[in-house]
Structure 1
Amino acid sequence: MKRIAIFASGSGTNFQAIVDAAKKGEIQADVALLVCDRPHAKVIERAIREHVPSFVFHPKQYETKECFEREILQQLRERGVDWIVLAGYMRLIGPTLLQAYRNKIVNIHPSLLPAFPGKDAIGQAYRYGVKVTGVTVHYVDEGMDTGPIIAQQALYIYDGEPLESIERRIHEIEHTLYPQVIQQLLTEKGSTSDEKTSNH
């Protein structure tokens, strides 16, 4: 069975959705590790409840990104991690992890990329006044939400709909779509990771 590590920085609702899907057998994988860059993030409490080991670090205690990514990489290798799943991880992935896990790092973003990359994507879309937004799952590369798109799901915004309602509906899509796409990636056969990237 494949082993995945989830990287998260916040409350961990997508972390929880992935763990729940794995427990139900909807994702055929072991959640082997949580990696978190914020020592007081709520996601750490979720990992403790779910008996998922955590590697929690404070980036400012390291001289460079390469230093803490080397330590993360050691943790991943010790646990035999096959895939990295970003779930609200608020840092760009650097060359150390990108090279070690080429085409094996995925992220979920609450907009229809390439529209509204970066932070507060739901708020960006709301303030812009778009009628359609959504969720994107994509491979991770060196850029900010620029990797090849794997899957998208659209959400139509109602006239006068408040931001809180849009956020809730976006999160509902995330919690369903992300586990489905992760399982698809884990079970795809007959093609290399490079071929999968080029097909999307």
Structure 2
Amino acid sequence: MRSRSQNQRRKRIVQTAAALALRGGVEAMQMRTVAERAGVALGTLYRYFPSKMDLVVAVVAEELDLLEASIDRRPPTAETAAGRAVDVLMRATRGLMREPELADALVRSLIMTEANTELGARITDLLWRVAHRSPDAEGEGPESGVPEPPDRADPAYIRVASLASVWIFELLEVLKGARDVDEVQHRLEIAAEPLLADR
């Protein structure tokens, strides 16, 4: 287990990297620069994050933490699972479009094999919980009637993962300038309805 000072140091490194990414994109997240700005030795940085992609994943994971906290504070209220899932994805889209460099980092990290398992599964698990949560449910966890995500090979889970994949593609299109946010919402609504219709 990491000590409190180790956790604080790690958090400082991630926040420093995020600030650099916001100003200059992933390219600005040079390991030496991050170490200098965070006030740690370069060797210490590499102990926490063996590669730049590991650091990018940590920055994106922190953004996902913020999204999950906002969902807990203000859960989607749509009557259908598809509507609740699209609500969450559009909140994420709008938030990322305010910080396009982080959106770019998210897309890059999700298409990298070693990052895809962790971040892709986190997004899918979040969508699963939202889709299976009653709009008027109180609290989190088993007592709120939200089932745990099933095995990742379960067809129901794969359908939710497919919606997450559609979202990543649409986010990429926004970053390329090929879509606007309203178009993304429309496309997600079309994709979500058949994928989550039986929830």
TM-score bracket relative to the smaller structure: under 0.3
Counting helix residues as a fraction of each chain, which structure ranks higher? 2
Larger Rg computed on CA atoms? 2
Counting strand residues as a fraction of each chain, which structure ranks higher? 1
Q: TM-score, normalised by structure 1?
A: 0.24
